[in-house]
Amino acid sequence: MKLKLKLLLPTLTTCFLSLALTACGSNGNKTPDPQIEPTTPFDYQALIENVVLGELPGVVLYIDSPQLHFYSAAGIADQEENTPMQIDARIPNGSAGKKLTALLAGMLAQEQRLDLDKPITEYLASDITDHIPNASIMTTRQMLQHTAGLFDYLNDSGGAFYDAVIADPDSIKTDEFALQFALDKPAHFSPSQGWRYSNTGYILSGLILDKVLGAHHSGAMRSMIIEPLGLASLSYGGIEQNLGSITSGYFKNEDGVLNTRPFYQNIGVADAPVVGNAKDMADLLKIIVEGALLSEPTHQFLMADDHFIPTGINGLQYSAGLFKEMINGKHVIHHGGSELGYATYNFYVVESKTTVAMLVNCNGYKACDDAHDALYQKVVNELTK
C-alpha cells in the first residue's frame, strides 16, 4: 500500500475547571443568606461517546487535578474484532515520549556520565558524524532543544521512512534504521542559530545514550524511570514488545483503511520511544512538571524557566521534550504525539495542577485529524470556562 503522508506536529494546550458562584439579590429590607447556584458537572463520558459515533474509532481520556478526576474510554479498539476500547489501552505515544529520552539524558548528565555541552563527535563515531553537517560544533543539549538545525528524517524526507517500514514491516526498527534518512542532508542552519523541530536530534541523542551506557538505552529507561516511577504500562517500542500488546490504529487514504499496528509493534526509536496508556502518560508529565520525585538538577534541566527557549511559533517555548505556552492566562506544559494511526495529547496546567492525556486510535488523514482536534478543543473549552 503506497502511503501519501501528512505528518503533524500537534500543539497541545489546556487549563483548569472553575466553578461559577452566583449570589441572590435583596428582598425588601431583609438581606437573605447568599445562595450558591448548583452547577451541572460537564459530562465528559457523553462527549467521548458522541465523538466515536463519527470518524474516531476509539478514545481514552484521563483528567486529574485536586478538583476533578475523570478516566474513561469510548468506542472501538479493533474494528475487525469489534472489541471495545478499554481505559488501559496502550498505543504508540509518538513524540509525547520525547520527554523520557530527555529525562534519561538529564539523569545521566547529573551522574556526570554525559556532558550535554560536548560536541557530538566526542560520543559518536566518524562513520556517523562525517555525514551530519556541523557535527563538530553540535551538542546533545542543542539536539534535545531543537536548536541544532538538523534535517528531519520524518518531516523533511517526503515519507521515505514510512515507505521503508511498510516495505519491511517485520524487522525491528531502531535509531540506526531511522538515521539513514538523515545522513548527508543539508542543515537548516548552524547550531544555536535558530529553532526548528527535528526528530533526527533525538535519534542521534539515543545513539549517544547507547554509547554512554554501553547498551541500548531502553534498559536504563526502564530501570531508572519506568519502574522507579511506577509507570507500569510503559514499554519501549519494538524492543520490549513482549511486555504487552498495542491497540489497533487506523490510517486512511484513497486505497482504503490500513491498520498500522503491525508496523508500529516493531518500531523503537528515541524520538518516539514508548507505548503506554493514558494514565501513565499523564502521571509522567505531572512527575516531570512538579519535580518532587526527581533530583533538583534533573528537574531544573527540564523545567527551569531559562531552559525554555522561544520557538518563534505563536508564543511557544521549548525545553527538552516539553513545550510551554500561556493559554487563557495559564502556564501550560505539553508535548503530544502524532503517528500514522495514533494520536496522543498530553498536557499539564500549572496553576490548577491538572494533568491530562487523551489517546485516539486513528491519525494522519484529514477526517480523523479534524475530529480529534475538535474533541480536544471541546475539552479545552470546557476546562477553561
Q: Are 124 and 211 in contact (CB under 8 A)?
A: yes
| Dihedrals phi, psi of 59, to nearest 5 degrees | -145, 140
Return the pLDDT at 206. Answer: 98
Return the pLDDT at 379. Answer: 87
Q: Tell me the average pLDDT across 315-335.
A: 93
Q: Tell me the average pLDDT across 63-92.
A: 97
Q: Which 8-state DSSP code applies to residue 136?
A: G
| pLDDT of 8 over the 50 cut | no
pLDDT band at residue 23 under the 50/70/90 scheme: very low
* 336 C-beta neighbours (distance < 10 Å), count: 23
Return the pLDDT at 316. Answer: 97
Return the pLDDT at 40. Answer: 81
| pLDDT of 27 over the 70 cut | no
pLDDT band at residue 35 under the 50/70/90 scheme: low
Return the pLDDT at 34. Answer: 52
Q: b vs e for 343-354, b when ≥16 Cβ sit within 10 Å of the residue's Cβ?
A: bbbbbbbbebeb
Q: For residues 237 and 148, what is the distance between their CA atoms, to the nearest angstrom? A: 26
- Please enumerate in sequence order all residues whose Cβ is within 8 A of that of 317, keeping only pairs 6 or more positions apart, or say none: 308, 309, 310, 311, 323, 324, 325
- Please enumerate in sequence order all residues whose Cβ is within 8 A of that of 144, keeping only pairs 6 or more positions apart, or say none: 101, 102, 105, 116, 201, 202, 205, 320, 321
| pLDDT of 152 over the 50 cut | yes
Q: Tell me the average pLDDT across 196-222.
A: 98
| pLDDT of 169 over the 90 cut | yes
Return the pLDDT at 369. Answer: 98
Q: How far apart are the first and last CA of the chain?
A: 45
pLDDT in tens, 84-127: 999 999 999 999 999 999 999 999 999 999 999 999 999 999 99
Q: For residues 264 and 262, what is the distance between their CA atoms, to the nearest angstrom? A: 6
pLDDT band at residue 79 under the 50/70/90 scheme: very high
What is the enclosing helix (H) or strand (E) of 64? Answer: strand 58-64
Q: For residues 179 and 161, what is the distance between their CA atoms, to the nearest angstrom? A: 9
Average pLDDT, the chain: 91
| pLDDT of 66 over the 60 cut | yes
Return the pLDDT at 37. Answer: 58
